Structure 1
């Protein structure tokens, strides 16, 4: 698709109190308006139509719906944006109406195709405003990556990659916190101790148990785990249940504490890692504190980049200290880059903090299992309970240390004061003594001993299988996530590199077009990150034949704006697949004169296939640079005005004037009709003089626009001497000049005693003049008679279709 706007009509929107209509028919338009006349109402209306918001009004203090609505219209009046497109199936009227005290918006087009069109348009660059043209240039490398990824559809890749990284870290943390190797080795040791054999398979386990029970004649042969359960039930009939409960509790406690004792070095190591990362952050706490100002600094950069929000005084808007805006903005961007680096330290610190916390929580969970056993309530187990609570208290200190704010100035406890030591496990000796005592009592009771050993062996074997299974699953997850993540990283970087290489060529092309023969060359966007990693984008360029990074270092404000605009236009060229129009709202305000001229050339040379709505308040640029080019290229031109009565509105155009004059003549309303007739005649004479390339003396700036009709007629008379046919029209010019309505009195709105006959005659001469140089054929695409249509073979000038033709001697 190549969607263009055929007609734009806004009513009650922003500055437009009444209806402001642009009948474009797919053509580009240049619009001039002084600051404060409300020309941005056009770009605001289009942005709201597509996105339901206006970016530069998107603050917590401003309700966009209330802000989009003209403040002077009544509650009964609706605000509307009506757009007719080159594809009429997308035509729609978006209305903002007050219903039950609430502002509600509604589109007249509710078709699925239109909804799909709006959705597709959201990813395209349609509007550029002065305050946003440097957004990409000024952003950090991470923000650049996100911004570009979002535009080109890599946001889903980035999200998926983030999920994969999170999953990988989660699996890795789980592996570390569980410490499966120690758990498995402990259970293997139980098997060796109880069965006096190395057990590695179910068959080993079954054979060993069958050998142990051979003399008991139980009638049970163990060939499965279910058989072991049957055997244990059979043996339990001849054992002391209370004694077995006590033994089981003591053995479980011994096992858990033995494992924890072996893990004291592991816990200390993880805590020291956390302690080290904490110290790194604490020693550079000012840099870390700066990360909390990221939102504030971004808001400051936005304010300083917004010409409408800049203060007249050269000072900081926050602290009011004297400082130039450009210097302050540059410093903010440097600080934002430093914050991005500090954020990486925070991530590393966060990982270490998470590890020690989760590892400690898992150890407390294991202790809580023992403390929840009813055996712990017995008086004989008071020492075990006290010892477990003491160890839990120490581990809790590790968890508590993760709650210390790094910016508080508070220090973490040193490892020596909170680590688990040998003394913390002294009560384990008592547990072992009691286990041996019970087993000593059971020595003569073969069935009891076997019951205890087989039960312990079964539990140990099942635990080994469980731990191996959990470990295998987590390792597979970790490996899979790591492989996929690395491949995603690699492919994303490759894909992004392929795209930005082409994209950079366009950015550099447009920048060099506006900045020929300057020291900044070969501008590129490049990926940042070691090997296949990707953590951001930055801008590289050659300055005096030497590669440099970050244009803020050398570029002036005008050069930075050129670069930002080059990025926007390259984005339009690369990403806009649906719409073939764009709105440029006051984008050259901080350009120097040379860059302004080159920017105009860029638009007309490189973007001639696009429909452009170009808004500006720069009078000289509008008058002397863009208007002549726009007229030559068939653009429409107009001016925005503002009055308290009408609000923002377009300057009345000749076509509208003509209709107004004809209506007034038909109604007999001739009072003060002379002035609109003069305005219409002046516009007509300017067009004729321009198309015949009539020679006029050079005048500066606005004086050139305000040529008097007499001067224009003299220049046209001089040119039409080259045509025998047009020389016959001299009497027509004579009649116009001799009319009582032609003089200065008319120009100054002075009342004159002109009869209705004089007025009708004067108007008839104007219409005859218009018909002499304008074709009325509906199919004529270039209706104005002009030297542009000169035929060297026939030596004639004509309109585009050739219906009106005059011989012409060059």
Structure 2
């Protein structure tokens, strides 16, 4: 992974143009909702991966990077939507990555070295370096199956889910092959029995029937039925000149009897009861909306995976990364596992019905063929039509889905039209045939029986082969499941311990003995957390939302630590810290700083208190933050930069817009005063809602800086540093002069901002107010580094010094 030095964003998302210096260190973007913070997150992700996770995945509909990555005014010019990153590689080399929306998959890299290419590949493979709250909480509150998919995707273990699903599909397919092979064996068995005229398929019955015919033909007796035994062995050489009749009368009568028997079985009470039981079971599934949806969706999702081309969803044509698409589908399929089990049970109930349908169909095919061989041939439309109807029944019931089709088919699956006349007509034609000689009948029997025996043997051999395949598939699935589960248990044990340790550090005051359990099982990941020693519960059971967010952050950090180890050097947390309990903010900052000293964190937050915590705890440096005050579609986000503010106020005054100038000045003074009070430790009356007005802040900030000058003079006098006393006195005098000129507590500013008598103020009246405030506020910052002064330490009874970031302008506050 790489560290970010600088970023330039142009015409991208809600940003027209902005440049930020991240310095390869922790960085924060703060601002109210809607001021453009997340645009920075999107830009970082896009520059490194070419993708924007906010525009992909569930719930994003027709959104895409291509269409919605550019600024709204540049959708027709995606080549002008550009993000440029200056980065540092792990070895310390510098590089620049420039990526436009038009050529999102082809960034310009300078220098284009193998190291930077490898670093980008790593970022592409680990897009989880960007984390938003909607992604954070899914690790905590997801269902076990969904959590397993999400966590395994984060750990780059999602291939396990894919392999498991692939193996499961193979198991299901081979099991279905076995079922079909069993049906073929059953059908060929019945045909063989019909051909030999025997009640049961045993070697003894087969040999008895065959030897009776062979005896008539003067052929030798068969003593055993081996795998290669031919029932008609020797028949061709014994009477080669004899022409076998086209229709064997005995066999034809046997086939006709078989049709009647099969039809009677299909339409009988047993079959009717089976169909009714299956109908009720199917109706229960269709009546349960969740189950009905799951069974249908499972089939739909499997087809979606089969038809996915690696670029677009085959259903909605939304652009999808192959890995992301399959991860989403596999997670859903895991959730439907219980419904899949019910589906298999229903398929098992329907199987005997399918067997009866197949038997009737095979028997009908035999006599339809028979009718066509008679002289003259007989037309059998009712039989052919019913055979086609049976084929439709088989397809619907075997397919099962949609369930409504199966539900409609089951009540008529056992019904049989009146076929008596058609069958009787064929039987009459067969009876009219001359009786064959004993030799002819024997030849016919052996010839037909041998053909059907061969078919039966082939069906049995195919069943054995399919059974072996199914057994191997089931064994492979079982071994894979056990071995991966054991491996995952080891991984999750390490992650679990790291997670618990991080959470204890953040909540040490009230949950110092906290423990957690990650419980992997086939396709699932349970998550139990301790609740004050009362036992292990799901995170959402008793813990507050703030604690849940804290858990999500800790679990994410634990997973990333396991996954990347020393390579965990970049994490972009988009409003992730917002819901962490206020009482634990400082602890979160401490944990991130001390536990992950080599990770560059990029934060966004709309809470200024969070920003101050990060600064005061040293998680980010004072200058390594950007504070947005507003956003417009034409200009994008605007920072709280003093230079920009004064320029904007001057622009208002040039247009004689005193009201606009006054409103902006007051807004900026509130922002400035809030920060000044914090840095100078000014005494401000506490408000539980933290909603401070300008009158609550600015006078106290001014007073605090004045007190600092007095204390520093007293300290310098105690050390007999008269030269410093003079310098401080001079600074104090000019500050007091600026303060007097500002007249910050007088009526003009307040009336202008609150629109009371604002029209009585003219440009020439308000311009001096602006100048005086600008001058006064300048004394709060260092002239070398432009950083606002702050007292040290930030807590405690005694103040030690006033200093800025560069340290060149420091005042001692400790007396001798």
Q: TM-score, normalised by structure 2?
A: 0.67
Which residue of the partner structure matches residue 614 of structure 1? 603
The equivalent of 1:137 in structure 2 is: 140
TM-superposition CA deviations, 1:592-635 (whole Å, max 9, x none): 42133332233223223211112212123323x22211278788
- For 1:479, the equivalent position in structure 2 comes to 471
In structure 1, the residue matched to 2:728 is: 733
Say whether the 8 Å CA contact 2:266–2:415 is kept in structure 1: no
Alignment-derived partner of residue 100 in structure 2: 95
Matched residues in 2 for 1:516 and 1:486: separation? 43
Establish whether residue 33 from structure 1 lines up as the match of residue 31 from structure 2: yes
Question: Is 1:583 paired with 2:576?
Answer: no
Shift of 1:11: 1.8
Determine if the alignment matches structure 1 residue 451 to structure 2 residue 443: yes
Choose which of 157, 162, 165 in structure 2 pairs with 1:159: 162
Check the 8 A contact 1:540/1:548 in 2, yes or no. Answer: yes
The aligned counterpart of 1:11 is 10
Q: Deviations over 1:10-29 (max 9, x none)?
A: 122233222x2222232112
Q: 2:460 aligns with which of 453, 463, 468?
A: 468
2:47 matched to which residue of 1? Answer: 49
User: Is 1:490 matched with 2:482?
Assistant: yes
1:145 is displaced (CA, Å) by: 1.8
Picking from 519, 522, 528, the partner of 1:540 is 528
3-state DSSP class of the match of 2:535?
strand
Residue 22 (structure 1) aligned to one of 5, 16, 20: 20
Please give the alpha-carbon distance, in whole angstroms, between the structure 1 residues aligned to 2:94 and 2:274. Answer: 64
Q: In 2, distance between residues paired with 1:85 and 1:209?
A: 91
What is the SS of the residue equivalent to 2:515? strand
Matches within 5 A, 1:560-599: 560-576=548-564, 578-599=567-588
Q: Which residue of 2 aligns with 1:308?
A: none
Corresponding residue number in structure 2 for 1:85: 87
Partner of 1:526: 519
Partner secondary structure for residue 572 of structure 2: strand
Q: 1:65 to 1:424 in 2, by over 3 A?
A: same
1:471 and 1:267 mapped to 2: Cα distance? 26
Please name the residue that 1:170 is paired with.
Answer: 173
Give the equivalent residue in structure 1 for 2:659: none
* SS state at 2:526 partner: strand
Note if 1:366 corresponds to 2:374. Answer: no
Gap change, CA 1:247 and 1:91, over 3 Å in 2? farther
3-state SS in 1 of match to 2:246: helix
Aligned equivalents of 2:641, 2:177: Cα separation in 1: 73
Query: How far is the alpha carbon of 1:804 from its aligned partner?
Result: 13
Shift of residue 139 of structure 1?
A: 2.0
Match of 1:126 in 2: 129
Q: Secondary structure at the match of 1:21?
A: strand
1:482, distance to aligned residue in structure 2 (A): 0.9
Q: Return the alpha-carbon distance in structure 1 between the equivalents of residues 725 and 296 of structure 2.
A: 75
May I ask how many residue pairs the two structures share in their alignment? 688
The 1:274/1:289 distance shift into structure 2, 3 A limit, reads closer
In the aligned structure 1, how far is the partner of 2:348 from the partner of 2:133? Answer: 44
Does structure 1 retain, via aligned residues, the 8 Å contact 2:129–2:570?
yes
CA contact (8 A) 1:584 1:614 kept: yes
Q: In the alignment, what sits opposite 1:556?
A: 544
Match of 2:278 in 1: 274
Q: Kindly tell me: are residues 742 and 354 of structure 1, through their superposed partners in 2, closer, same or farther at Cα, counting changes over 3 Å?
A: farther
Q: Residue 367 of structure 1 contacts residue 388 of structure 1 at CA under 8 Å; is this kept in 2?
A: no
Cα distance in 1 for partners of 2:104, 2:556 equals: 32
TM-score normalised by length of structure 1:
0.67
| Kept after mapping to 2: 8 A contact 1:28/1:635 | no
CA displacement 1:573-608 (0-9 Å, x = unmatched): 222454511112222333442133332233223223
| Range 151-160 or range 249-258, more displaced | 249-258
Q: Measure, in 2, the Cα distance between the counterparts of 1:619 and 1:785.
A: 19
Question: Partner of 2:153: helix, strand, or coil?
Answer: helix
**Is 1:236–1:451's contact at 8 Å kept on the other side of the alignment?**
no
Between the aligned partners of 1:371 and 1:539, the Cα distance in structure 2 is: 64
Name which of structure 1's ranges 140-149 and 456-465 shifts more when overlaid on structure 2.
456-465
State the match for 2:61 in structure 1.
Answer: 60
CA distance in 2, matches of 1:615, 1:380: 89
| Mapped pair 1:743 → 2:747 | no
Q: Deviations over 1:452-492 (max 9, x none)?
A: 24423431342233022101111101111111111122122
SS of the residue corresponding to residue 618 of structure 2 reads helix
Equivalent runs, 1:433-452 vs 2, <5 Å: 440-443=435-438, 445=439, 448-449=440-441, 451-452=443-444
Structure 1 gaps of 5+ residues are 98-102, 217-222, 296-335, 529-533, 658-675, 775-783, 789-796
Asked whether the 8 Å contact 1:254–1:428 carries over to 2, the reply is no
Tell me the distance in 2 between the aligned counterparts of 1:723 and 1:89.
49
Taking the aligned partners of 1:555 and 1:593, their CA distance within structure 2 comes to: 15
Q: Deviations over 1:369-405 (max 9, x none)?
A: 4376374474888698756765775685576667797
| 1:647–1:572 Cα change, 3 Å | same
Q: 1:573 to 1:186 in 2, by over 3 A?
A: same
| 8 Å contact from structure 2 (residues 30, 605) kept in 1 | yes
Correspondence for 2:627 among 639, 643, 664: 639
| Alpha-carbon distance between aligned partners in 1 of 2:735 and 2:380, rounded to the nearest angstrom | 120
The alpha-carbon distance between structure 1 residues 424 and 206, as it changes in their structure 2 partners (threshold 3 A), is closer
Q: Note the alpha carbon deviations across 1:768-809, whole angstroms, 9 max, x for none.
A: x889x99xxxxxxxxx99999xxxxxxxx9999999999999
Q: Separation in 2 of the partners of 1:274 and 1:806? A: 89
Equivalent runs, 1:248-327 vs 2, <5 Å: 271=275, 274-282=278-286, 284-288=287-291
1:70 aligns with 2:60: no
- Mapped contact 1:785–1:800 kept (Cα < 8 A): no
1:648 aligns with 2:637: yes
Closer, same or farther: CA 544–286 of 1 in aligned 2, 3 Å: same
Contact 1:273/1:352 (8 A) holds in 2: no
> Are the counterparts in 2 of residues 281 and 288 from structure 1 also a CA contact under 8 Å?
yes
2:108 alignment counterpart = 108
Distance 2:590 2:584 in 1: 10
Distance 1:243 1:164 in 2: 49
CA apart distance, 1:79: 1.8
User: In structure 2, what is the equivalent of residue 220 of structure 1?
Assistant: none
Question: Following the alignment from structure 2 to structure 1, what is the Cα–Cα distance between the partners of residues 709 and 685?
Answer: 17
Uncovered stretches (5+) of structure 2, i.e. residues with no partner: 221-226, 299-331, 647-664, 691-696, 745-765, 795-801
